[in-house]
Structures are given as C-alpha cells and as structure tokens.
C-alpha cells in the first residue's frame, strides 16, 4: 500500500521505517530535510515539500499519516487540506486533544477528505514490538487502511476501531492518564524499598522477582528494573518530569463528568511539582522510565 508519513520524529520515523520494511511504499516527509534524507537511505521515497507528497501518489488515492505535536496539528491540517485532492485519507496519529477532533473532521469532510484519528502507543519500541493503535473516524476509511495497521501491529501490537471521530484519541488519552498512575505507583514503591528499614535491599533484584509472574508484572516494571540495573542511584538525573497534556485533558474531562480521579490527579500533581523543583528519588525514577519507553529527555524536556 502507498502511504505518506509526515513527521519523522521518534515515533513517526519508526512508523515509516516499519511500513517500508513491511513491504509498503512509503513517502517520507518532514519539516527538516535531514530526516527525509535518513528515510531515503533505507529506501523510502523522499518528499521535501507537501506538493511533492501529493505528486508522488499520481492518480492513486492519497493516504497521509500525520505524526505531529498537538499544538500544531490544526494549522498543519489546514495547510494540507488546501492541496489534498478529493477522496484523500488523512490520519492524525499524534496525541491530539480529542475535543478538537470533531471540528477537524468537519473541516476535512468539507473538502471531501476523510480524517481518521489514531491514538498510537508503543513508544520507541514499536518498530520491534509493534504498535497499539486506537482508531476513530469513518469505518470504511479504517477498513481501507487496515493493511497498514496490520503491519504496524506486528508482532505483538494491535488495532481497533472505536467509533466516530475523536474516539481513537479519547481512548489513547485515557490510556496515557492510566500510565501516569501506574508509573507513579512503581516509582513510589521502589523509593520505599530504597529508604525503608533495610538499606541492603537490591532494588533491581526486587524488580527482577516482581517481573516473574507477580501481580505487578508489566512492561513498565520491566523497563524500571532495567533502569535500576543500569543506574541504581539515578545519578545525573534531575528528577524533573514533563507532562504531555493527555493526563491533564483526562482530568478536565473527568471533572466535567463528575468522576473523581484521585490516583491520576496525584500522579499528575507530582509531575507539576517536579517542574517547580520538588524532586526526589521517585521522580528521578519516573524520568528514567519515560526515557526507557518513549526516548524522552532524561531531565524533563518533552
């Protein structure tokens, strides 16, 4: 299947590479040409401008995957809508706010373009392990891009259509909020082990045992124990932990619905406090986790 990927950052670059290796014809586009040059090296079709992307499809239907930050998606989508031919499919695969998806879908529909929102999880490990993709938008468009999603899910990922525009990003948003709470619990638990009455306890060894069929066995715990083996004292980590926005949006939505979220609120508040200098061993461990699964800056940058 022919598909263009615009936005070749940490995850977008892996998506493009995985699709190319999976036998799809990938057109690679990025704001900075260096990323396009990298994609060209492994065999993707380079496109240095938006018009080159459209031209590369010839008479075929344009399928465009946008992997862009939430704060630029509206402007960039509108730019693309000016040049995309009718019947194109645009995939918003970034962490966009679901509350803006309906308006984006309406603007696309007015141009006879189908907009699909895909919440994409898998971090920097998606190339190897597969991505988990939560999809919203028109079902026929989802069905038409299924070959792409099947490839991206291999070997152990998955994809599912959840309904109308916005549902994919909504499910992914809640997923990320849950992630905050899980990470916080692990970080706090390891801190108690470290600062408790038995200073000789090996935290990494505890994580090794927990990862063997215990109730807290998880990918997050696996990454945490790896970080502890590599850097048990969390040296050279500031403990400042960024927040991407999705837990904030989840909390706002929950408040509107009258749903208490004490665990996720507490985890979110810890991240905000870390940005104001309130750091400790647990926030350092949070930063190490984020670096492990998402390739995020170890000292609090996005």
10-21 and 146-153 helices cross at what angle (nearest 10)? 100
* Euclidean distance between CA atoms 272 and 265, whole angstroms: 11
**C-beta separation of 133 from 78 below 8 A:** no
Does 139 qualify as catalytic in the annotation? no
Q: In this structure, how many other beta carbons lie within 10 angstroms of the beta carbon of residue 138?
A: 17
Catalytic residue among 18, 50, 179, 292: 179
Catalytic residue among 18, 172, 284, 292: 172
User: Which candidate, 27, 33, 34, 23, places its Cα nearest to that of 6?
Assistant: 27
Does 38 qualify as catalytic in the annotation? no
Structural element, H or E, at residue 46:
strand 45-46
The SS3 of residue 247 is helix
What does the buried/exposed string (b/e) look like for 3-42 if buried means 16 or more CB atoms within 10 Å of the residue's CB?
bbbbbbbebbbbbbbbbbeeebbbbbbbeeeebbebbeee
The SS3 of residue 134 is strand
* Residues with catalytic function: 172, 179
């Amino acid at each position: 299947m022919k598909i263009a990927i615009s936005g070749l950052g940490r995850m977008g670059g892996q998506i493009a590479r995985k699709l190319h290796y999976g036998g799809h014809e990938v057109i690679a586009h990025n704001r900075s040409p260096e990323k396009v040059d990298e994609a060209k090296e492994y065999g993707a079709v380079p496109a240095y401008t938006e018009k080159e992307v459209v031209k590369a499809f010839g008479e075929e239907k344009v399928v465009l995957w946008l992997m862009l930050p939430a704060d630029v998606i509206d402007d960039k989508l509108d730019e693309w809508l000016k040049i995309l031919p009718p019947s194109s499919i645009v995939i918003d695969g970034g962490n966009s706010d679901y509350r803006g998806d309906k308006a984006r879908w309406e603007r696309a529909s007015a141009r006879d373009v189908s907009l699909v929102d895909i919440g994409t999880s898998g971090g920097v490990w998606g190339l190897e392990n597969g991505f988990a993709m939560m999809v919203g938008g028109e079902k026929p468009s989802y069905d038409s891009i299924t070959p792409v999603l099947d490839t991206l899910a291999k070997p152990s990922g998955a994809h599912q259509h959840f309904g109308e525009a916005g549902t994919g990003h909504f499910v992914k948003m809640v997923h990320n909020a849950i992630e905050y709470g899980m990470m916080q619990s692990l970080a706090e638990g390891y801190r108690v082990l470290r600062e408790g009455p038995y200073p000789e306890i090996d935290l990494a060894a505890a994580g090794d045992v927990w990862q063997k069929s215990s109730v807290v066995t998880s990918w997050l715990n696996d990454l945490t124990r790896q970080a502890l083996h590599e850097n048990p004292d969390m040296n050279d980590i500031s403990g400042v932990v960024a927040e991407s926005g999705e837990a904030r949006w989840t909390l706002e939505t929950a408040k509107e619905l009258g749903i208490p979220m004490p665990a996720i609120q507490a985890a979110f508040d810890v991240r905000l406090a870390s940005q104001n200098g309130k750091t400790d061993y647990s926030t350092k461990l949070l930063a190490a986790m984020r670096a492990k699964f998402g390739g995020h800056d170890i000292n609090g940058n996005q």
